[in-house]
A and B are shown apart, each in its own frame.
Chain A
Amino acid sequence: MTAPLAPEASGPTTGAPAAPSAIELVHAARWYGNVVAVNDVSFTLGAGVTGLLGPNGAGKTTLLHMLAGFLAPSAGAVRVLGRTPHRDPSVYRQIGLVPEREAVYPFLTGLEYVRFNARLQGLRNADGAARAAIVRVGLEDAMDRPTGTYSKGMRQRVKVAGSLVHDPQVLLLDEPFNGMDPRQRIAMMDLLGQLAEAGRTILFSSHVLEEVERVGTEILVMVAGRLAASGDYRAIRALMTDRPHTITLRSSDDRRLATALMRDPAVFAVELAEAGLSVQTAQLGAFRRLVAGASRSAGVRLFEVVSADESLESVFDYLVRR
């Protein structure tokens, strides 16, 4: 994955120098008439799993369709494994795509559908590959049933099986967890994690932040067609210096600790509440050092120090709303 960027940055990023980028966008844009869906987006992705976040209309699906070769960029360049995917069907030997639309041929059984994908990929042992992919998504009990009888979550899983039957280097998934129950979601997240550990590049879009947070820490955030941020969301949060961090503390004497902390210029505000002491600071690192010394000098025992807004939700909320 790329090095973290400051919010709003969208220039090409530099990953580990030795690892070639599986996905590369260079000032890529796509517009429909006067409507700009993706605007001057640049990033690179190597092996690993990355969540593509953004509110509705942010351009996530347009971005994924450009990467999958189903949309030509109006400007800039899109490269997957060093090649331009648009009008180059041979690139699909290395790409797996799970589209957002859930339709699957309803008259095919799960196994037939995945085997169909394997055969179109030209795999020699299509049946063996299909059965292995079915097992990976945990659908072996239902593989002989027509997909028309599947639940929404099962259709998502069989689509994923069809997309990874040829063991692609790059997997693109558009809202893959839609319709899955919690158990299925966890299993799918674990599968994506395993594929990432095996060196695959996985980019999935989602509007459910908990899903992204569970699968990994690397994110791309799209807002109104632009790349608002990319990288490890915790690193992005650390770069949001114009937004104070909120930290909740519990100690043996919150009032005395508040007095000690108020003396330091790194602390913006202190609030005493029943749950503990809420402190706002612009410099998280400095505050962590400060709080230890302040509690010692005030003779207060610290029980708990919790960062209240370090979550992905906090980062996303900040990037989207401001």
Chain B
Amino acid sequence: MSGNVGESSIGAIPEIARITLRQLLGRRRTLLLVLLATLPVLLAVAFRAAGETAVQPFTRRVFDTISITILLPLVAILFGSGAFGAEIDDGTIVYLLAKPLSRWAVVAGKALSAMAVAILLTVGSTALAGIIDLVPAGNDGVLATEAQALAMVVGSVCYVSLFLALSLFTRRALVIGVGYMLVWEGALSFILPGIANLSIRQYALGAAEAIYRLPLQEARLSADTAFVLAGVLVAASLAVATWRLMRFELPGGGD
């Protein structure tokens, strides 16, 4: 790759991020994800109305059952795999690649926008639900809310990075992502605790430990280990995505 495209590449990152944001937010599926993100908030309202403001019941029944198990992976996988996937499908990727830009800048623009939307939805949902039901419980509630929000940030960044990279190798990144979510993190992680080192869910829960020990009895990684593994995953995923994009080929077409 030529080295003299660096300056314009950095300037192009916000442009690429902006257009990716408009792409991601303009889809119908985003509306469905927003509806899904409101579910924990509505449940927080119900818990509050029922006088259930302790940390444990809400964390187990809402955060564990919905927010980190369904909302986080679904939102982040959809945005991560969709950041490049849609452009590859409709051919508009060529307008990004036929430019004097380093490929890492294209990946950075795409990843930043997908991460931003995923964080906005998952952290927004978790923080709002926590403010409604947990913060009134006192200091533990505040810390639990902050810890859950941090888990969402770490999880969003990891899922987006991994599935953004995967979408450059296969058009089935979304299907693989849902399979990973259900089989690997859903079933196998309970049967084989050792795979915690290869589970984004565990990175997210482990990261939360840096703020507060959530009453889930499931976090199998220390905060330090979780941050290191999450960092390695994100760096490796984005590096692989850049490598792949440098070798990206357009088919010859029907003729």
Contacts and interface: CB of A to CB of B under 8 A. Distances in A.
Nearest to B26: A107
Most buried by B among A60, A70, A71: A70
A205 to B, nearest CB: 8
Interface in A102-155: 103-105, 107-108, 116-117, 119-122
B246 A87 contact: yes
Contacts of A57: 254-255
Interface string B225-255: 0000000000000000000001111111111
Interface in B90-129: 90-92, 94-103
B15 A30 contact: no
A92 B23 contact: no
A62 interface: yes
A59 B99 CA distance: 24
B252 A89 contact: no
A126 B34 CA distance: 35
A88 interface: yes
Interface residues on B, range: 35 or more
Nearest to B97: A70
Contact of A56 (B101, B103, B251, B255): B255
B19 A87 contact: no
Contact of B255 (A59, A89, A93): A59
Contacts of B249: 65, 70-72
Nearest to A32: B252
Contact of B252 (A37, A103, A108, A119): A37
A237 B100 CA distance: 41
Contact of A88 (B1, B90, B95, B250): B1
A62 B124 CA distance: 47
A54 B99 contact: no
A58 interface: yes
Contacts of B98: 68-70, 92, 95, 97, 163
Given A65-B252, A101-B90, A101-B91, 9 more contacts: A38-B252, A68-B250, A70-B98, A71-B250, A89-B5, A89-B102, A92-B100, A99-B94, A120-B101
25 contacts: A32-B252, A61-B254, A69-B98, A71-B250, A87-B1, A87-B246, A88-B1, A89-B2, A89-B100, A89-B101, A89-B102, A92-B98, A99-B91, A101-B90, A103-B90, A103-B91, A105-B22, A116-B15, A116-B19, A117-B99, A119-B11, A120-B96, A121-B100, A122-B7, A163-B98
Interface of B: 1-2, 4-5, 7-8, 11-12, 15-16, 19, 22-23, 26, 90-92, 94-103, 246-255
The 3 closest A-B pairs by CB, nearest first: A122-B8, A62-B252, A61-B253
